[in-house]
Structure formats: C-alpha cells, structure tokens
Amino acid sequence: MYRNDPIVPTFALIFAAGLFYMAYLDGIHIARLLGHTPEELSVGQIGLMAFGAVLLLYGLIGLVSYWLEGLELRPGRHFPTPSTTPVVVGVLLVLLLTALSGFFVRLIGYSAQTGHNPTWLQGAVFGAISLVVAALLGIYKKFFGRDEAITEEEKSHFPW
C-alpha cells in the first residue's frame, strides 16, 4: 500500500454505514419487543452510532486527503495547471454561499419577529454554509494553491 491510499478510508465509510444500519435494526428490534417505539435511544444504539460517527469522520478525512494530495507526495514545487472549471465551480459555490447566508439572516429575522424559532432549520442552513465553505477551501487548495514538499536528511544518531 502507498502512503495515502483510498482503500482503508473507503472501508471505514462502508463499515460506518453498516454500524448505523445496525443501530437502526436495534431500534426496530427494541420497538418490536416493547410493542411501541421508545422515546430514548438504547445504550447499544448510542455506542454503535458513536463508533460509526468516528469511522465516518476518519473515512471522510482520508478520502479528502487522498483527493487533495494524491497517492504520494513528491519532493519539489508543484504549480497548479490553469483551468476554467474550478473557477466556474468556485463562482457557483460563492453564489450558493451568498444565497444560504441571506436565507440564514432572513430566518433569524423571522424568528425575532414572530417568536417562533425553528432551531433545526437554522442548524441545517448553518451546516450547509459550513460545507460550502469547506468545499471552497478544498477547491482553492487543490486547484489554486502552490504546493511545496521538502525533504531533509535525517541527522539524528538514535537507533530507532
């Protein structure tokens, strides 16, 4: 395997999906035993979802790292190749970010005027804003940022 292989993060994502599905099946089993759906989660469901969330995060970080850096870092300076596609995608993402930000401000104003505060919608819009900003930063790093990988000789005299 190479240093930045996408196989392990992909299997982590598959395993995380399996853990989330097992938590779902556990909830169905508990509902069948009780005769109704309980209001709270069981300890097993919480454990499965927590471990699944950790694996999901690990898999996403690994795949983003593979997308940004490639299989293996090569020493030297690397300059991005000019292309119009990342510019168009960046402009579209900035327009989407502007629309989401405007909707978020309108949502805050609505909740201040009416007293009805849809926190789930505010959280979803803010999460979407965060994902768009992360996508913009990733596109900048991949297509516009100059990379430089420096190698140095090891100067230590330790046996390990």
Pairwise CA distance, residues 142 & 90, whole Å? 12
Token output for 37:
């759906």
The whole-number mean pLDDT for each consecutive block of 10 residues of the chain, a chain of 160 residues, reads 79 95 91 86 91 95 88 79 92 97 94 90 95 95 83 68
- Looking at 73, 90, 113, the residue that finishes a domain is 73
The pLDDT value given to residue 160? 61
pTM, two decimals, is 0.72
The pLDDT value given to residue 72? 77
The pLDDT value given to residue 68? 85
Is residue 157 in some structural domain?
Answer: no
The pLDDT value given to residue 52? 95
The pLDDT value given to residue 159? 64
- Looking at 73, 102, 133, the residue that finishes a domain is 73
Pairwise CA distance, residues 12 & 63, whole Å? 10
Host domain of residue 127: 80-147
Are residue 109 and residue 56 in the same domain, yes or no?
A: no
Is residue 69 in some structural domain?
Answer: yes
The pLDDT value given to residue 71? 81
Counted domains in the chain: 2
The pLDDT value given to residue 1? 46
Are residue 94 and residue 63 in the same domain, yes or no?
A: no
Nearest to 139 by CA among 90, 98, 66, 92: 90
124-127 long-range contacts, Cβ below 8 Å, gap at least 24? 125/100
Is residue 4 in some structural domain?
Answer: yes
